Structure 1
């Protein structure tokens, strides 16, 4: 398996080289040169998530140094549950796929843990460590920090936007020990993301610090994220005889693109619908066919506050028609759906999950009854207690892993939005 750039001006590389580079030399994103094809029967003897992951991902890491270690990487990275919870009180579903039972309470744990274990398999040098440079709109930073802490041969530098993430998220991404460093940037997420791209586009800076990415622009992030969509889709298809529909809350498009790629590989997935917050880039594109990035808008679903989603370049690289609908949900609708879901089923959702629940309720009766629908629940609601608790009039308890985070000391550096300042941070 070789990887090509979406911009077509860079040499083909294997999975290890694509993982180390993060972004292709021409500024494009790496894509598999060709996709493997699977049938449901290919996974009949892999009932658990780690076993399915090793089978599904094996072709993507063929001929790379990662492949022999893939089963152990998957077993270690995916060692927490991923339950599918039916909302029985709501007619015709949906099921909630809880992706937040990892150590930092967010779906980003799947990709981040896989990524750093893959780096370890590649044998990074402690004399010249790989520097994982990441921009976060909230949850990615915590997952990366947790996954990177104590990993030899790596260094993680996490950029986050000042005043644009929840207090718990900020504490969580600033509490990790070396080789992790958090940096508060005086700009929004798109400014942080632009800094990461600018650093990769500077050959001297990228070479000097051995830069790579842990954002979903990295193949080491979105490829492992295919596995939980595949597991849920295979299980529902076996139960009902019909591939399920997915409703995925998204900002930077990595989680959604993972589902699109899984379906393109033959996993039985029906319609894929995206739920976004008030940021209109994706809904306007789907309505008009014209893509135009723009500054992000701050919302209650802050991890999705993205005006220029990086993975759109990968989506545009595939044939059209990959996304069946994009439903935009404003803050008032998020709060209303949080309350209604709690009243109807006692289920407590985070604001991002609530956008997908609201999108589900825009479907007509025939659409709901045609198949089972799966909602991606991306984060534990306790991470957004300041938003959720006033709406449902109830305290949301922290799970033990997240409670332990509050006992750690939080520390970070401050910087503006210029590349020279980032270069100074990278230099130490």
Structure 2
């Protein structure tokens, strides 16, 4: 598998190099030189395969001979060892539950796969791998648990002060071992900017072996394609073939993976990018002008991204052709008041308790159906996190229905530790340099 930079299509690097370097020096993002289509026979009979089998088929098609077959199978079996059920809510509506992994968020797919890929490629005696990650909520917890105890790695998680939920913060700050957390006085965009500046800094790169665990890393994107194929397999078992995916979107890695699956041959009629008021992409699709803004805090905090990194990958998938993109992607935005109404509607009409991100994806399905009343496709909206992560969002009667997983209860007894920094690169750089081992 060869990859290029979105800023330089003549560049060629291996998958291993892209995984460890994370982002090219030209500040583009890595993309596959070739996106091969999965064979038609596999797609036509996909309902016969289980999730690990589907994951192996997709990964081996993309990666080719980067990892030997037996090793890749073992890696996938270890990383993707939990379910992603498509739960039927009515005859034409399903919710894809992606919160059954250890951190109770969809990002377990990417983080666990990536950590195991990195551990596979790391050799004894090599320089310590420093993983830098910015999080708006769920990425940090998934990465922390994915890398916890992985030899020869150290993870530094930056999160915005006061802008993650209490449970998310516990998942970031109670691990110890090779995981450290930094509470940044700023927004997620500030955290992400600090990480990107670190990757571009010559002195830091000379002293550390830096890589990212954000969705800018291609090894985060690849495993997220698995659950799109697996969902289609689950629907096909029930005789359903036309599907629309509604995806809660912040940094646009999740829907980017869905669109990569589409390019690999997954039959999808439409993708809906559902955002909160951080609406850079909906505004772009409406106006044709791409203009980022500082992020605003909302109930759906994991989507509070004003400058979504993965949008450049999505545009690259469609050769910068906005009209071609708009044939496949629709986008809607919703504010906090609408989000709460979505949570209540799901509870009252479909007897389902959903986190605020999931509620936004549901609202986008309803909006799409209003605008396309003759479309009889099956709609699947993605549930990206367990509702227990957002206890302060729900009305009391709905909150009472939320089951609290045992791992969440256990977190509350653990000591919390986080360093505090301003959103200032010089301060962050000094922090990193003070930690040279």
* TM-score with structure 2 setting the length: 0.93
How far the C-alpha of 1:66 sits from its partner, in A, is 6.6
1:391 positional shift: 6.9
Pick closer, same or farther for the CA change 1:196–1:391 going to 2, 3 Å.
farther
Match of 2:244 in 1: 245
**1:12 has 2:12 as partner:** yes
Match of 2:180 in 1: 181
**Alpha-carbon deviation of 1:242?**
2.6
Contact 2:260 2:317 in 1 (8 A): no
Whether the 8 Å CA contact 1:61–1:67 is kept in 2: the answer is: no
CA 1:245–1:395: 2 relative to 1, 3 Å: closer
The equivalent of 1:103 in structure 2 is: 102
Q: Does structure 1 conserve the Cα–Cα contact (< 8 Å) formed by 2:251 and 2:303?
A: yes
Matched residue, 2:66: 64
Deviations 1:209-249 (A, max 9, x none): 11101100001101100000111123324533533110000
The 5 Å alignment of 1:4-403 reads: 4-8=4-8, 11-42=11-42, 44=45, 47-65=49-67, 68-88=70-90, 92-125=91-124, 128-237=127-236, 239-319=238-318, 320=321, 321-322=324-325, 323-364=328-369, 367=373, 369-390=375-396, 392=398, 394=400, 396-403=402-409
Shift, 1:183, TM fit: 0.4
The 1:241/1:343 distance shift into structure 2, 3 A limit, reads closer
SS of aligned partner of 1:387: coil
* 1: CA distance, partners of 2:150 / 2:315: 35
Gap regions ≥5 residues in structure 2 = none
- Cα distance, 1:289 vs structure 2: 1.6
Could you report, residue by residue, the CA deviation over 1:11-59 in whole angstroms, capped at 9, with x for unpaired residues?
A: 3111111000000121110000010111452264762111111110113
Alpha-carbon distance, 1:363 to partner? 2.5
Shift of 1:142: 0.4
Asked whether the 8 Å contact 2:38–2:61 carries over to 1, the reply is: no
In the TM superposition, residue 347 of structure 1 has moved relative to its aligned partner by 0.7
234 and 393 in structure 1: CA distance in 2 versus 1, 3 angstrom threshold: closer
Local SS of the residue matching 1:195: helix
Confirm or deny: 8 A CA contact 2:131 2:211 kept in the other structure.
yes
Between 31-40 and 5-14, the greater mean CA deviation after superposition: 5-14
CA distance in 1 between counterparts of 2:117 and 2:97 reads 24
Which stretch of the first structure deviates more once superposed, 64-73 or 132-141? 64-73
CA contact (8 A) 1:237 1:268 kept: no
Q: What is the SS of the residue equivalent to 2:12? A: coil
Residue pair 1:94, 1:372 contacting (<8 A) in 2 also: yes
Give me the whole-angstrom Cα distance separating, in 2, the residues matched to 1:192 and 1:125: 31
Q: Which residue number in structure 2 is paired with residue 413 of structure 1?
A: 419
CA distance in 2, matches of 1:134, 1:284: 27
Deviation by residue 1:258-280 (Cα, 9 ceiling, x = unmatched): 00000011012220011000112
User: Could you say what secondary structure the match of 1:133 adopts?
Assistant: strand
Does the CA contact (< 8 Å) of 1:234 and 1:268 recur in 2?
no
Number of matched residues?
425
1:395 shift after superposition: 5.0
* Inter-partner Cα distance in structure 2 for 1:82 and 1:339: 24
Three-state SS of the structure 2 residue aligned to 1:420 is helix
Q: State the SS of the aligned residue for 1:396.
A: coil
Give the 3-state SS of the residue equivalent to 1:96 in structure 2: strand
- In structure 1, how many angstroms separate the alpha carbons of the residues matched to 2:95 and 2:89? 7
Change (3 A) 1:425 1:66: farther
RMSD after superposition = 1.8
Q: State the Cα distance separating 1:367 from its structure 2 match.
A: 4.6
Q: Measured at CA, do residues 5 and 382 of structure 1 come closer, stay the same or move farther in structure 2, by a change above 3 Å?
A: same
* Secondary structure class of the residue paired with 2:348: helix
Asked whether the 8 Å contact 2:245–2:270 carries over to 1, the reply is: yes
| Shift in CA distance, 68/289, structure 1 to aligned 2, threshold 3 Å | farther
SS at match of 1:385: coil
Of stretches 383-392 and 246-255 in structure 1, the one that deviates more from structure 2 is 383-392
1:65 Cα offset (Å): 4.4
